[in-house]
Amino acid sequence: MLGLEWILVYLALGSFVGFMGGLLGVGGGGILVPLLASILFYQGIGGDEVIHLSLGTSLMCMIISSITSVRAHASRGAVVWKVVSGMAPGIMLGALLSTHVAANLNSAYIALFFALFMALVAVQMFVNWKPKPSLKPVTFRGLLTVGVAIGAVSALAAVGGGFLTVTYLSYKNISMKKSVGTSAAIGFFIAITGTIGYMISGWSQTLNNPHTIGFIYLPAFFSISIASSIAAPYGARWSHRLPEAFLKKIFAVISLILSLKMLLSFVKF
């Protein structure tokens, strides 16, 4: 049932995720998805599709945050729109295909994929690994192909878009500043396409669940979006006072622990 106490829980979750996102300049999906899955489980929402609901709702929350982020980066000329236009069609195709497949996958497999991906992100943050730049120029075919892959992964792990996009663009000799800004713009297409995909693929499976549209749980979406948008600027202010490298390692550890907890909760060994 949906009571005031659950709304307060979602508001607290949104505040935490928004603050962390503003603090580190990264998406909060690594924290949001596993915590949201746990909250929905204890609330009795979603049944066997609780992880699908968590991913769909998280992607819908990303729509709001990505719009704000894109505007900030675009105003500083940090978005390479040629790259965005090249990757966007592939992103949308990959995300739609992935959400269709995800709708027919057992939650345990999605939880396993999410945990493994977060382990990869955590390792990258710890060692600060960066790919050796390529001498080959960016091509439309390459952008389209990579877009399909990133879109597909991001629909199954709502944290994957920014991590993979920044890594690829850095590999293609695009500066880190523009890689991050361009990744934010691409994140909008990931979020909106993934949201539509989870809405459509989950439409018939959640008809008996109140306050849902497909694999989107509306009370969580509204509460988290409102709270995170308020908290994010405070996180951004603190980002100038605390050591970013250390904080990203802490973020990686927390995300990995939560992902493993989600895996142990939803996978029957």
Return the pLDDT at 213. 92
Q: Across all residues in the chain, what is the average pLDDT?
A: 82
| pLDDT tens column, 38-94 | 899 888 886 778 888 999 999 898 888 778 778 877 887 888 999 999 999 999 999
| pLDDT tens column, 102-143 | 888 888 888 888 888 878 877 777 777 777 777 777 788 888
Lookup: tokens for 44: 């009795």
Please determine, for residue 268, whether its predicted confidence score (pLDDT) is greater than 60.
no
Please determine, for residue 178, whether its predicted confidence score (pLDDT) is greater than 70.
yes
Please compute the mean of the pLDDT values over residues 149-177 and round it to a whole number.
80
Return the pLDDT at 1. 61
Please determine, for residue 229, whether its predicted confidence score (pLDDT) is greater than 80.
yes
| pLDDT tens column, 208-221 | 788 899 999 999 99
